[in-house]
Structure 1
């Protein structure tokens, strides 16, 4: 089996995982509720804009940080969005763990010569 086949099998396993299915279901619920969807999408857009500025070295203004904090606090008070964010964190943790496993051969290789 090639490395790409293994990767595609891993992708399939992730899509079929309970964690992903729960995340997908909650995301769909939020997208079908206009108010929740608008609130969540606004939050994500602010996050992405700040992340992009950070990655390009642009200055993030105090007003932008304050706005992001206010929106985050509002979003966390919304039960379904808070649940979605928790599910996203779990999925992110799972992906990080998988990444550690995948990169283990390189880590071992480089640590072998230290």
Structure 2
């Protein structure tokens, strides 16, 4: 019996969208966007995050000043309850996706042998 993996993947996508973790994440993201202060702070944080990741991917060195600036921004962001809750929900969703990825990759790991 042949299985259409794309159909299974689409079913998984629907299941993720219907999950409590995703619904919670979506609601918390809406709460951040509904509060102008939280929204601006979160956008600043995301922009900084993307800029630093881009520098790393391009092999550029991150300066001490950028590290300090990032640490200050994170400290401010963590004090915003809307953003703090959103980040916790993002972390939970990331863990779920990581677990799903392990399950998906299991046949290949078994085929090639897990790294020992």
CA distance in 1, matches of 2:54, 2:103: 28
Partner of 1:92: 94
- 1:46 maps onto 2:63 in alignment: no
Shift of 1:32: 1.2
Which residue of structure 2 aligns with residue 17 of structure 1? 19
Tell me the equivalent position of 1:101.
103
How many residues get paired? 113
CA distance in 2, matches of 1:43, 1:88: 14
* Partner residue, 1:80: 82
How far 1:9 moved relative to its partner?
0.6
Structure 2 residue ranges without an equivalent (≥5): none
- Structure 1 segments of 4 or more deviating over 6 A? none
Q: CA RMSD in A?
A: 1.3
Counterparts of 1:58 and 1:15 in 2: how far apart (Å)? 37
1:4 deviation in Å? 0.3
Task: State the Cα deviation string for residues 37-67 of structure 1 (Å, max 9, x = none).
Answer: 0001100111111111111111111111111
Could you tell me how far apart the structure 2 residues matched to 1:9 and 1:51 are? 32
Matching of residues 56-67 of structure 1 within 5 Å: 56-67=58-69
CA distance in 1, matches of 2:96, 2:110: 21
Q: Distance in 2 between matches of 1:33 and 1:63?
A: 29
Match of 1:4 in 2: 6
What TM-score does the superposition give when structure 2 sets the normalisation length? Answer: 0.94
